[in-house]
Amino acid sequence: MIGEAMLAIKALDSAFVLVQGAIAKKKDVEDMASEVGKFFTAKKQVEQHIANAKQAGNEDLMVGSALEEAITIDQQEERIEKMMEKIRDHYMKKGQTHRWAKIKQQAAIIEKKREVKRKQAATKNAQDELFIKDLSYVLGILVAGLFITGGIILLIFGFSSE
């Protein structure tokens, strides 16, 4: 888990270096699509690892420091904010503020759609688990009924063969 998070952070750093290089070369925002796309992909992975770390915490309470973990999470969130500001500033310098606003708006819409799909999948999984539980309960009742029926038949016909 820690290794994956470190790889995601490294990928984010590498992607941001590419974006900074493109900004330093004064590339047009249209020409930076690849670099910015890689940055956002890496950013999403880091944010996912941060969310997992916040949600799960540390399984072994004696390992590491809660303060250290909180500082690391805060530092990563701050770095992402600063990186986003630099990209936004570049769009503004190039006179593409409207495009940046549109990108942010589209990202919010996509994120909402993904959240809806995640909730639907979670609901479907919960319904499937409930169905399986109910099915196993019904199957258990049927098996118990068969044993009881077999026992009754054995009592009625088994002792009358004398």
Q: Note whether residue 126 is domain-resident.
A: no
- CA 4 to centroid of chain Cα atoms: 14
What whole-number distance in Å separates Cα of residue 13 and Cα of residue 92? 22
Which sign does the torsion angle of CA 140, 144, 146, 147 carry? positive
- Digits of tens for pLDDT over the chain (162 positions)? 566 767 777 777 787 787 778 777 766 767 777 777 887 888 888 888 777 777 766 554 445 666 777 777 788 888 888 888 888 888 888 888 888 888 888 888 988 998 999 999 999 999 999 999 999 999 999 999 999 999 999 888 876 555
Residue written as token pair 């258990």: 140
70 falls within a domain: yes
Packing angle of the helix pair 2-24, 33-56 (nearest 10 deg) = 150
Within a domain: residue 43?
yes
Q: What are the Cα distances from residue 74, in Å, to 6, 11, 66, 96?
A: 15, 18, 12, 30
Any domain includes 15: yes
C-alpha 156/C-alpha 162 separation (Å) is 12
41 belongs to a structural domain: yes
**DSSP annotation of 30:** G
137 lies in a domain? no
Q: Tell me whether residue 84 is in a domain.
A: yes
Give the total number of structural domains in the chain: 1
Q: pTM value?
A: 0.55
In a domain, 110, yes or no: no
**Structural domain harbouring 62:** 2-95
pLDDT value of residue 67:
72
Burial class (CB in 10 A: 0-12, 13-18, 19+), 140: exposed
H helix or E strand, kind and range, residue 83: helix 66-93
DSSP tally for the chain: helices H, then strands E: 4, 0
